[in-house]
Structure 1
Amino acid sequence: MQFEKSMLENIIYRLKKQEIKVYSSGPNSAERIDNASKILEIQLPESFKNYLLIYGSLSVKSFELNGLINVSNDSEPVHANFVGLTKESQDKYGLIKTYIQLGDAGLGDQWVLCCNSKSKNYGKVFYWNPGISGENDMEKCADSFEEFIEKKLLKLIE
């Protein structure tokens, strides 16, 4: 499923109309996104790639969605950079190697996106914390990246 730029632009327009500030780190190149996939040895869903191409990362009120920000080394665990944060969570806390860290869900949980194209969970978003070691132990929070971001941002409008 393609990430719908128009859906997100519509929600961002509604947020700004309510004078809610929306921050984006800016667009990324396809080459940089492909490099991030290689570093983590994963296959990013097209919807997440399109989000990275257009927005980079987003921050609205208390909701922060990791992406790629302008740093010299994507492998460093820099705030809001999903590559470094994912590597850190994999190496130190046991995040499953085919998942990426989308952001902090609170109370120690993280939102994670399945990036294993051979898995039935590919493209789905889950809650994960360091105490969880298997896919079956995670709670699904969205069937797709699009559904996840839409639900989170629409909740901020209410």
Structure 2
Amino acid sequence: MKDYSALIDNVKKADNELFWLGSASSDQINKLEKILEVKLPESFRQFLSEYGGGGIIDAEISGIEDNHAALDNGGTVFGDTLTAREDYELPENLIVVFFKDYEICWCLDSSSTDNSGEYPVVSYNLFHHKVDNKIADSFSDFFKDYLELRA
């Protein structure tokens, strides 16, 4: 994953408060893959390894809380994906990375892989139960845009 420290510094300078869940171990990232039955793209694995999840307060990226992949709390990849699957018919190929106020649901789409094994980030319409559009070509691009828009 690219070095985002300069972008993160710019976000802080813009008076945005940041909160990170803390790094997730390889074992817990592998466990998350096992319980979701999907291989995560390398850029998202690296994000989880470095930050665990989180970001700007009230706009946090889903992650692994307390280095425990199976926690089903809101704000965790597992919890947000499970909620969207149970309540909004989220297809199995979509993995939630951003879930806000039961209105916004952005996901990694594991059914569409590029040559480097990365998945696009797509917007899932919770009310119409379908993908609306592609937000970014990869999680890495999504994270860069996420930070730049808040800097």
* TM-score category of the 2 structures, normalised to the smaller one: 0.7 to 0.9
In 2, the alpha carbon distance for the partners of 1:84 and 1:106 equals 14
Q: TM-score, normalised by structure 1?
A: 0.82
Whether 2:63 is the aligned partner of 1:79: answer no
Whether 2:150 is the aligned partner of 1:156: answer yes
Whether 2:132 is the aligned partner of 1:138: answer yes
1:88 counterpart (83, 88, 99): 83
Q: Which has the higher contact order (CA 8 A, sep 6+)?
A: 2
Q: Runs in 1 of length 4+ with deviation above 6 angstroms?
A: none
Whether 2:11 is the aligned partner of 1:15: answer yes
**Runs of 5+ in structure 1 lacking a partner?**
none
Counterpart contact for 2:54–2:61, Cα < 8 Å: yes
2:56 counterpart (55, 60, 64): 60
Cα displacement string for residues 2-31 of structure 1 (whole angstroms, at most 9, x for unaligned residues): x21x1x212112222344321101001000
- How has the CA–CA distance of structure 1 residues 146 and 49 changed in structure 2, closer, same or farther, with 3 Å as cutoff? same
The code of the aligned residue for 1:150 comes to K
The residue correspondences of 1:92-103 to structure 2 (distance < 5 A) are: 92-103=87-98
Aligned residues: 148
Equivalent position of 2:36 in the other structure: 40
Identity of aligned residues (%): 25
The code of the aligned residue for 1:39 comes to I
1:124 counterpart (117, 120, 126): 120
- 1:120 offset after TM fit, Å? 4.4
Secondary structure class of the residue paired with 1:111: strand
RMSD, aligned α-carbons: 2.2
- 1:84 offset after TM fit, Å? 1.7
The code of the aligned residue for 2:147 comes to L
Secondary structure class of the residue paired with 2:98: strand
- How has the CA–CA distance of structure 1 residues 73 and 66 changed in structure 2, closer, same or farther, with 3 Å as cutoff? closer
Counterpart contact for 2:71–2:79, Cα < 8 Å: yes
